[in-house]
Amino acid sequence: MDIYDISFIISTLWVGPFWMAMLLNPKKEKTKKLLAGPWFFIGPIIIWFIIMCYNPQGLIDLFSGSSNSMGFIEGLAAGLATKAGITATWAHMVAGDIFVTRWMWKKCLETNSPKWITRLSIFFGVMLMPLGLGIFAISNLLKK
C-alpha cells in the first residue's frame, strides 16, 4: 500500500460516521452536535492538500492542460488517470458529497420531511449524489 491507497481509504472512511449518524439518527441531538462543526468534511480536504503537496506536478498539469498538444480534455484525462489524480479527485468528491448531504439533512429537519425522504436523500447523497439531490429536490417541489 502506498500513500495514494491509504489516502483513498481514509477519505472514504472519514465520512462514514457522519453519514451514518445522519442516516440512522437524523433528529438526535448527538447527530446535530457531531455535524455542527467542519469536521465532517475536513478530513477529505486535508487529504486533498496532502496529495497536492506530495505531488504538486499533478496540479501544475491540471492548470497547464489547455496548453497540452492533445487538447484540454485529453490533458485533463491524462492527469486524472494517475494515482495522484484519482486519489485527489476522490477526496474532492467525498468532501463535496458529505457537504451537500449535510445540507440536505439540515433542510429535511427544518421542513420536517418524512423520515423515508430524509433517509433516502441522505443515503443517495453520499452513494450517488445526483440521485440523492434529485430525490430531495423533487420531494420539496411536491410539498409546495
Confidence band for 126, pLDDT divided at 50, 70 and 90: very high
Nearest-10 crossing angle of helices 3-14, 39-54: 170
Residue 30 contacts by C-beta under 8 Å, 6 or more apart in sequence?
A: 21
pLDDT in tens, 92-120: 999 999 999 999 999 999 999 999 999 99
CB 22 within 8 A of CB 31: yes
Q: Is the pLDDT confidence value at 31 over 80? A: yes
Q: What is the pLDDT of residue 67?
A: 59
pLDDT in tens, 49-88: 998 888 777 666 666 655 566 677 777 777 778 888 889 8
Q: Where are the domains of the chain?
A: 3-143
Task: Look up residue 119 and give its three cell numbers.
Answer: 433517509
Burial of 105 (0-12, 13-18, 19+ CB in 10 A): buried
Q: What is the pLDDT of residue 63?
A: 64
Burial 84-95 (b: 16+ CB within 10 A, else e): bbebbebbbebb
